[in-house]
Amino acid sequence: MTERVRRWGALYHAEHYLLVARAFLWTVLLNAIGTPLLYMVAMGVGLGSLLDAKGTTVDGVSYLVFVAPAIMVATSAQSAFGENTYTVMAGFKWQRTYYGPAATPMDPSQIAWGHQIGIAIRYLFQASMFWVIMVLFDAAPSVWSFLAIPVTVLTALAMGAPMQAYAATLDSEGAQFTTIQRFVVMPMFLFAGTFFALSSMPIYLQWIGWISPMWHGSQLARWASYGLAEPWWLRVVHVVYLAGLFLLGGTLAARTYRRRLWS
């Protein structure tokens, strides 16, 4: 029994996460489908038709095709914020849900990784729904466009794991989360080349895109969705950067969970 918990503990916590999420199904659904759909219709269709009327294309494709994969990535990556800040604080402090399992054979690091696995399933659901919407809107020309789904999951994890690692170190919530939302997530979203090519920004603002997981993810998703041209090494950089952020964030988080729950 104990042996099995040691091996699969992370999955148990992921299951717990999904059970809790079920109670907020409406909020989750609205976030998962409503928000990206709104951005898609507003920007892709609304703003897009303004550009179409002028005959403007971006990257050789219509504006809708250009923004759709990036919206898919960016909205999921934004939902990583709430999942890795307030939820983590609730686990340690507000509801202390972490302390129950920490008293069992489960290792706290399994709670940390289990949390990420649980959210990953949510991202997967969210991205798949959006991919269907993209296809319905005729916004995913390539047969490989479904690969944007794993890209989205990876990007959201890369965005979330470092926040989880940070949130786990906090004893109380002052203004930290609002600060992250307004000064990190928001600029990363707006300056990550979601709604325009990053290269059209002045060079002194482009660095915000380079460090933003959303930009790396969007570029990969665009490659999958319509075949965005980029040197192969840059694609390797995208993947390595995203995977690296996730693993680094996750490892730091796991360490903090151990320190906090086993002290």
Partner 1 sequence: MSTVPRPLRGLYSGNLAAVLERGWIAIKTQNWVIIISGFVEPVLYLLAMGLGVGALVGDVAGPGGKPISYAAYIAPALLATSAMNGALYDSTTNVFFKLNFAKLYQAMLQTALGPMDVALGEIVLALLRGLLYAIAFMILIAGLGLATSWWAILMIPAALLIAFGFASIGMGITSFIKNFQGLDIITFVMLPMFLFSATLYPIEVFPAAIQWFIKAMPLWHGVEMMRHLSVGHITGATLGHMAYFVAMSLAGMVMTTLRLRKLFLR
Distance CA 199, CA 140 (A): 23
29 lies in the site for partner 1, by CB under 8 A? no
Question: Binding residue for partner 1 (CB under 8 A) from 26, 204, 232, 233?
Answer: 26
Query: Smallest distance, Å, CB 122 to partner 1?
Result: 16
| Helix %, strand %, coil % of the chain (to 5) | 80, 0, 20
Query: Smallest distance, Å, CB 54 to partner 1?
Result: 7
Residues 163-202 that bind partner 1 (CB under 8 A): 174-175, 178-179, 182-183, 186-187, 190-191, 193, 195-196, 200-202
Cα angle: 224, vertex 228, 34; to 5 degrees: 55
Residues in the chain, overall count: 263
**CB nearer partner 1, residue 186 or residue 247:** 186
Q: Residue 38 is which amino acid?
A: L
Question: Binding residue for partner 1 (CB under 8 A) from 20, 33, 35, 135?
Answer: 35
Query: Smallest distance, Å, CB 15 to partner 1?
Result: 23
Q: How far is CA 242 from its chain centroid? A: 10
- Quick one: which H or E segment has residue 90? none
Q: Residue 36 is which amino acid?
A: P
Return the closest-CA partner of residue 44 out of 68, 61, 73: 68
Conformational region of residue 231, where left means phi above 0, alpha means psi within -120 to 50, and beta covers everything else: beta
Query: Smallest distance, Å, CB 66 to partner 1?
Result: 9
Return the closest-CA partner of residue 191 out of 85, 84, 74: 74
The answer to whether 134 and 224 have CB atoms below 8 angstroms apart is: no
**CB nearer partner 1, residue 109 or residue 218:** 218
Query: Smallest distance, Å, CB 187 to partner 1?
Result: 6
**CB nearer partner 1, residue 67 or residue 254:** 67
For binding to partner 1 (CB under 8 A), which residues are involved?
A: 24, 26-27, 30, 34-35, 38-39, 41-43, 45-47, 49-51, 53-54, 56, 58, 63, 174-175, 178-179, 182-183, 186-187, 190-191, 193, 195-196, 200-202, 205
